[in-house]
Structure 1
């Protein structure tokens, strides 16, 4: 697909942005953002199929890898990095990798996304295997770093997914499971950190949350395995234990600190 035919590269529906008032700019951005959730909703069947197949593998010991460049790579890293504190899983269970390495999280690495071989090299450092799953993230659907990686993963019989905002893209054609929320042109032409980035974030939230629930990391509607890494989370965990066991804050807090998680605190109390 040529750049001229990519929806994400089409001209904004708005022009003369520099002549707009601040209120007009904000209102129009918000008007465009309102389209995103509906676009993601249309992809739920594809997300469902992908999650179900990924969950089967993860229950057998497989891991989930996100791979991308620029904004897309950063979004994958954010989602992966939130899984251990939120759900109490090992840091190696969901892994975000981006073109240019960790240094590119803060500062772009020139032409890193154009290397078709480096992504697979980056994955091999993790001893990737057939139980693992690789999700390529690229708003354009044409990033060489991502597409080259998925092609190698396909050759190795590893399950692949692709999140892009352009239909009929090379990424969508390469991934076993293509997830393509079509959000239309950006408010600032080609600035895919906006609507496309928001759509990708929503899809990533759905994938990781559904997987963690499927792996038993949520009970009822609570993050019972969350890491107690700050006072806010200790307080939240204490209140969860209070509610579950109908005990005082002080007793719940002592149990939580002794056993290290909401799940363990509740289980030990009930067994005692």
Structure 2
């Protein structure tokens, strides 16, 4: 009687089995295959994260990655530890292979990377060789107050009738700040003047803006133009500010009747 031979394909190898051992071996092979993939999966380890402010000086130490990952410093050297920068990803940090220290490699501008997002996170992979090891490293970039409030225009212009009533309101353009949270615009101030007051309001999204309130009626015959200075201030420490000029042109209204220079004119016939 001829023995029946069956070939099982396991992880790239053909294994020849007799019919008597087929069932028991295939169960064992399935367990071996599962174990193999579990071991491969474990070449990637848990995350480690660092938080540090943007614009930190190049070469500044932000942590010891060998210690934080529980690795021997020698492993960093023999494994040629490096950050994977394929796909045009920037190398934000360097590793001192002799000490395991993590240092800032280049200027990091939070606004350039994340714009106005509330959280700025950079994910990078630390690669080790012989044997292969991958570690995901997370950098949390914290905002600093490195931007001043700015207005879109250098001058805000209004044309207001001299007949405008006291209490009339005029919406102002809001200032924009590239920073976030308390480092963004928090308040406005109007230089003291004779005709206008400033009301500062808050939108539903938390952004502030201002409105001019006419506090004293305008009179074009006395003053044809009014110049105001509006200042936007952020909440940083120390605070930063930006200013804009407000140019009000007072428009004429028919608020004066013709007036003669004298009440009675006498004509003498010669």
- Give the TM-score normalised by structure 2: 0.20
- Give the TM-score normalised by structure 1: 0.19
* Higher radius of gyration, 1 or 2: 2
Structure with more strand by fraction: 2
Structure with more helix by fraction: 1
Bigger relative contact order (CA 8 A; separation at least 6): 1
